[in-house]
Amino acid sequence: MTLDYSTGLMSNQWQILWGGRACSVLLKRLKRIRRLLADPFSMNSLSKFVQKFDKMLCERLKKKEDGKSFALLDFNMKIFFDAMCDMLMSITDDSLLKQLEKDFTAVSDSMISLPFMIPGTRYYNGIKDHPNIWRYDCRRRRGEEPPEDFLQSMLQRDSYPDNEKLDDLEIMDNILALIIGGQSTTAAAIMWSVKFLDENRAVQDRLREEQLSITRNKPDGALLTLQDLDSMAFGSKEMPKPFTYIPFGSGPRTCLGNNMAKVTMLVFLHRLTGGYK
């Protein structure tokens, strides 16, 4: 089955906000987009991402060791947004991240709003802030910021045949979709994981012992690797009902970032249970 957003009340909303993203296009176009978006989710890219995210997480958890409580969901939303922006676009500047997060949030909120261009509404704000995200792409086009990352690899395909490249709108639409699609879902999943671990002390103790055994076999201060995550038999345990719980979907629209979400959650649970009580 394919989805057609060309008619109906929501067509304007999807075409303006999400017209080029992998989850909203027809199947023929989807195959090309998914193939071109595969690189940041390859094993090589994930290996680099694990260490970058682990370092970022350790630094931010360290700042929270003042004895005060904090909102876990907000903490996760922020760190996942920053990590994805770093991986996809090499953005690490705090002021730019803050502005981008504001724009991304406005566009994300407009996705589930009625498509009426009335000032002050979510849809209006999303349409207004949508062009701000493309400005970063324009800066790259002018050669102002040339780091080697996913965005740059896409921009360097200008001379390729049409079926081997994405246009500017498709590039930024799909970066937008990857960040929005992975940020809140992963943040919420970890929040619930922490809640259930707190309510099930036996499971928490077993998970902590597994994580501590990994830590004992590594030098002090060493970052996690994909091999470490692969050795987390208990941490990676899945529900034994594969057709009942399908968090990443199935078929041609299976979530592109499912492996990234899994490694992100494992890194977080490792640092939380292995370093704190």
pLDDT in tens, 125-182: 767 666 566 666 556 655 655 667 788 888 778 778 877 787 777 787 788 888 887 8
Asked if the structure places residue 137 within a domain, the reply is yes
Asked if the structure places residue 3 within a domain, the reply is no
CA distance 269 to 220: 18
Asked if the structure places residue 5 within a domain, the reply is no
Q: Both tokens of residue 126? A: 């999303």
Asked if the structure places residue 6 within a domain, the reply is no
Residue 262 sits in which domain range? 11-275
Q: Are 146 and 152 in contact (CB under 8 A)?
A: yes
Asked if the structure places residue 2 within a domain, the reply is no
Split into its structural domains, the chain has a count of 1
Dihedral (Cα; 23, 26, 31, 37), 10-degree rounding? -30
Q: Per residue in 9-62, pLDDT tens?
A: 444 444 444 444 544 455 667 777 788 888 778 888 889 899 999 999 999 999
Q: Which CATH number covers residue 135?
A: 1.10.630.10
Asked if the structure places residue 1 within a domain, the reply is no
Does this model's pTM top 0.85? My answer is no
